[in-house]
């Protein structure tokens, strides 16, 4: 069996590498995404019988690009995204998705569309006031570039891979001795002491003379200048402004076209409940014999035979045979193309002729058709008007930005012509610096425009800068404030703080070096305290998650070795030095006590077992991926179709 083969290979694989990537990939792309497209364009890769085409890679690359821009926020510069590299990453993700699709097929995993619909209707992203809203659902999908049937198929695929993980995880096991060793390590306790040599301890000790202050200021005068800043004027145009413009008119024909498109989208959500009997070919039964059996069974059913009983006796589909062949409800884009074509050609209650798919021969009975309620044109009228206006506004926005750009260039000494042309208001802001991090000019693209040569040095209008979603701005400098030297009296406290910190760093380095030598020579902790003037901090029997110990100290303390049951270097301690955010610290451990699984509560032991069982499951999931990858074979082609 595949799972057994997978487990046989588990120990030789690095199980951490693929699991997180695969789950992300399948959640984002789905392992059958490319089956939803026509395959008339060039293939760039194959996994088993699955082809990945150029158009699919292009579509998914654009989606990945849009997701990345959204994650990076409004300051993201599209030009900084490396298209070639992104395309390569997307292709590899699609290949990984295809491999998992092969795994799901091999293990006969499927998710009823009723479960998919339940998941979608429960998703708060598609709800208004706690209830599923079909209009919101369709609109969000359209904004993301998905058709409803494509999106539903992807959700089904995501749920299927989750089911696949569950199968692997629930069958994973962990020996008791491994749990015992894990408990000994993870629940280990150590006696820890640390000497914090920090700015807070050493800074106040520093003596600073007027001469030092004057010399430091003279040598670093440029660092105490004011920062260059700009007072700006700007205008902003948005697609929303244009949507409210009287220049955008909506005709009845446009409304009816939008209404028809919405009905077509809803039609794609039609659900068909069906049952089937699957007959696979095998070494004992070739294609002709399988087809002959399918015809015989159909004749029996036409003569009044019980479909559920026949499915239980003859169907080779382990996922549905036990329930009489029931498949649940599904829409288009879910099943094998030949199966789907036959299913959607049936009337309610009809039985198909034998249908051949890549799985074998099917007898399909359509048990129920569920069509979504179609809203009336009048009930959707206002929403359709808003949607058509929004679409037109986006189209007009593109042209308007070009006009803004032209006016900004042609009338480059004022923003008034642009404001007059588009009915905008010239707005102002003062004190913008290169590192402004709040307000409108926290946007990097706008700041780059403000500090560009054309705007800053030549005094011209900026080009039209598009930012956020469907917004564009043109700006110009009203006043430029050059960097200016601040007198010593104005920055005296800053200078003193700088000198104090520098002196403290030198003193900390010297003290840490001397203290480490003392401790390694066997001197007592008290003698080190007398030398440094700093008190030790201690934590007896500290755990790995102790919250009141500095992170760097705790990490180093649990890395230090210490001989068990005997002293180390005659001192019974191990010593190290670490860097803190505000200085350094000496770390000493004097005792290590291993954890004991027998002393753990039942809940703690169960949590530990569950954690490591999950790790074993990850290992076996990766092994499953490798097994399927080897069996299916992955073939990559370049864009010209070569191997």
**Which stretch of 48-62, 172-186, 268-282 has the lowest confidence by average pLDDT?**
172-186
For residue 456, is pLDDT > 90? yes
The verdict on residue 176 lying in a domain is no
| Averaged pLDDT for residues 228-234 | 97
pLDDT computed for residue 564 by the predictor: 54
Question: How is residue 35 annotated by DSSP?
Answer: G
The pLDDT mean for the chain works out to: 83
pTM: 0.49
**Which stretch of 280-289, 401-410, 437-446 has the lowest confidence by average pLDDT?**
280-289
pLDDT computed for residue 30 by the predictor: 38
> Do 451 and 314 share a structural domain?
no
The verdict on residue 529 lying in a domain is yes
Cα 217 from Cα 148, distance rounded (Å): 67
> Do 550 and 427 share a structural domain?
no
> Do 582 and 498 share a structural domain?
yes
User: Residue 547: what are its φ and ψ, rounded to 5°?
Assistant: -80, -20
For residue 524, is pLDDT > 50? yes
Containing structural domain, residue 209: 188-224+492-593
pLDDT computed for residue 9 by the predictor: 41
> Do 209 and 239 share a structural domain?
no
Cα 244 from Cα 246, distance rounded (Å): 7
The verdict on residue 604 lying in a domain is no
Q: pLDDT tens, 161-209?
A: 777 777 777 776 777 777 778 788 888 889 999 999 999 999 999 999 9
Last residue of a domain, one of 337, 370, 403: 370
| Averaged pLDDT for residues 226-242 | 92
**Which stretch of 181-195, 216-230, 328-342, 629-643 has the lowest confidence by average pLDDT?**
629-643
Please report, rounded to a whole number, the percentage of residues in the chain having pLDDT higher than 70: 88
424-to-241, 419, 470 alpha-carbon distances in Å: 9, 4, 16
Collect all residues with Cβ–Cβ distance below 8 Å to 614 and sequence separation of at least 6: 169, 172
Give the residue, 611 or 551, on which the prediction is more confident.
551
Greatest mean pLDDT among 3-17, 84-98, 322-336, 465-479 lies in: 465-479
The verdict on residue 474 lying in a domain is yes
Cα 513 from Cα 510, distance rounded (Å): 5
> Do 456 and 507 share a structural domain?
no
What is the number of domains present in the chain? 4
Q: pLDDT tens, 132-151?
A: 776 777 778 777 767 777 78
Last residue of a domain, one of 461, 481, 501: 481
| Averaged pLDDT for residues 409-422 | 94
The verdict on residue 514 lying in a domain is yes
Distance of CA 498 to the CA centre of its chain: 42
For residue 570, is pLDDT > 70? no
Work out the pLDDT band at 68, boundaries 50, 70, 90: confident
pLDDT computed for residue 204 by the predictor: 92
**Strand, coil or helix: 356:** strand
> Do 546 and 402 share a structural domain?
no
> Do 497 and 469 share a structural domain?
no
Give the residue, 109 or 506, on which the prediction is more confident.
506
The verdict on residue 582 lying in a domain is yes
Q: pLDDT tens, 73-92?
A: 766 666 667 777 888 888 88
> Do 220 and 73 share a structural domain?
no
Greatest mean pLDDT among 145-159, 185-199, 262-276 lies in: 185-199
377: left (phi over 0), alpha (psi -120 to 50) or beta: alpha
For residue 513, is pLDDT > 90? yes
Greatest mean pLDDT among 8-22, 37-51, 231-245, 343-357 lies in: 343-357
Q: pLDDT tens, 314-356?
A: 998 876 888 899 988 887 777 888 998 999 999 999 999 999 9
For residue 281, is pLDDT > 90? no
> Do 414 and 275 share a structural domain?
no
The verdict on residue 614 lying in a domain is no
Distance of CA 634 to the CA centre of its chain: 25
| Averaged pLDDT for residues 267-286 | 85
Q: Residue 64 is part of a domain; what is its CATH number?
A: 1.10.4030.10
User: Residue 249: what are its φ and ψ, rounded to 5°?
Assistant: -115, 150
The verdict on residue 391 lying in a domain is yes
Give the residue, 107 or 470, on which the prediction is more confident.
470
**Strand, coil or helix: 627:** helix
> Do 7 and 155 share a structural domain?
yes
484: left (phi over 0), alpha (psi -120 to 50) or beta: beta
> Do 386 and 338 share a structural domain?
no
> Do 362 and 305 share a structural domain?
yes
Last residue of a domain, one of 457, 481, 505: 481
pLDDT computed for residue 37 by the predictor: 31
């Amino acid at each position: 069996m595949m799972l057994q083969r997978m487990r046989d290979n588990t120990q030789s694989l690095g199980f951490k590498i693929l699991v997180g990537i695969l789950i992300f990939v399948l959640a984002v792309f789905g392992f059958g995404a490319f089956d939803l497209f026509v395959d008339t364009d060039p293939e760039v890769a194959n996994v088993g019988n699955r082809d990945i085409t150029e158009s699919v890679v292009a579509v998914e690359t654009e989606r990945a690009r849009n997701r990345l821009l959204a994650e990076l926020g409004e300051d993201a510069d599209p030009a900084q995204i490396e298209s070639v590299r992104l395309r390569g990453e997307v292709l590899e993700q699609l290949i990984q998705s295809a491999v998992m699709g092969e795994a799901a097929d091999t293990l006969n995993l499927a998710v009823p569309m009723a479960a998919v619909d339940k998941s979608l209707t429960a998703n708060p992203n598609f709800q208004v006031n706690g209830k599923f809203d079909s209009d919101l659902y369709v609109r969000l999908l359209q904004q993301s570039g998905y058709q409803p049937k494509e999106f539903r198929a992807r959700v089904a695929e995501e749920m299927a891979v989750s089911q696949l993980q569950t199968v692997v995880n629930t069958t994973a096991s962990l020996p008791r001795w491994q749990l015992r060793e894990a408990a000994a390590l993870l629940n280990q306790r150590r006696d820890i002491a640390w000497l914090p040599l920090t700015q807070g301890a050493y800074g106040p000790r520093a003596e600073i003379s007027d001469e030092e202050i004057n010399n430091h200021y003279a040598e670093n005068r440029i660092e105490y200048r004011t920062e260059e800043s700009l007072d700006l004027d700007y205008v902003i145009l948005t697609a929303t402004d244009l949507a409210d413009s009287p220049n955008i008119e909506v005709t009845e024909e446009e409304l009816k076209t939008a209404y028809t498109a919405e009905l077509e989208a809803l039609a794609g959500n039609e659900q068909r409940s069906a049952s089937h009997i699957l007959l696979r070919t095998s070494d004992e039964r070739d294609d002709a014999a399988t087809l002959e059996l399918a015809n015989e069974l159909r004749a029996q059913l036409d003569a009044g035979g019980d479909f559920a009983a026949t499915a239980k006796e003859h169907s080779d589909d382990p996922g549905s045979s036990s329930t009489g062949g029931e498949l649940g409800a599904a829409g288009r884009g879910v099943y094998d193309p030949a199966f789907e074509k036959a299913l959607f050609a049936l009337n309610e209650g009809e039985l198909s002729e034998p249908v051949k798919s890549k799985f074998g021969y099917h007898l399909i009975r359509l048990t129920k058709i569920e069509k979504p309620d179609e809203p009336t044109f009048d009930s959707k009228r206002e929403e359709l008007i808003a949607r058509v206006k929004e679409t037109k506004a986006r189209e007009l926005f593109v042209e308007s930005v070009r006009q803004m750009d032209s006016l900004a260039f042609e009338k480059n000494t004022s923003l008034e012509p642009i404001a007059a042309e588009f009915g905008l208001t010239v707005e102002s802001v003062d004190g913008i610096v290169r590192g402004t991090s709040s307000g409108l000019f926290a946007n990097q693209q706008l700041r780059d425009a403000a500090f560009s040569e054309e705007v800053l040095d030549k005094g011209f209008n900026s080009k039209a800068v598009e930012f956020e979603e469907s917004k564009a701005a043109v700006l110009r400098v009203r006043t430029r404030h050059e960097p200016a030297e601040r007198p010593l009296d104005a920055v005296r406290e800053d200078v003193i703080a700088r000198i104090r910190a520098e002196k403290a760093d030198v003193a900390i380095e010297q003290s840490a070096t001397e203290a480490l030598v003392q401790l390694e020579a066997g001197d007592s902790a008290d003698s080190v305290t007398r030398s440094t003037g700093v008190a030790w901090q201690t934590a007896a029997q500290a755990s790995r998650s102790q919250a009141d110990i500095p992170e760097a100290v705790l990490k180093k303390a649990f890395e230090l070795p210490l001989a068990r049951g005997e002293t180390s270097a005659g001192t019974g301690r191990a010593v190290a030095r670490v860097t803190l955010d505000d200085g350094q610290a000496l770390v000493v451990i004097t005792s290590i006590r291993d954890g004991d699984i027998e002393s753990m509560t039942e809940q703690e032991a169960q949590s530990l077992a569950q954690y490591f069982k999950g790790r074993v499951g990850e290992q076996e999931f990766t092994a499953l991926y490798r097994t399927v990858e080897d069996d299916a074979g992955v073939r990559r082609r370049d864009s010209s179709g070569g191997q």
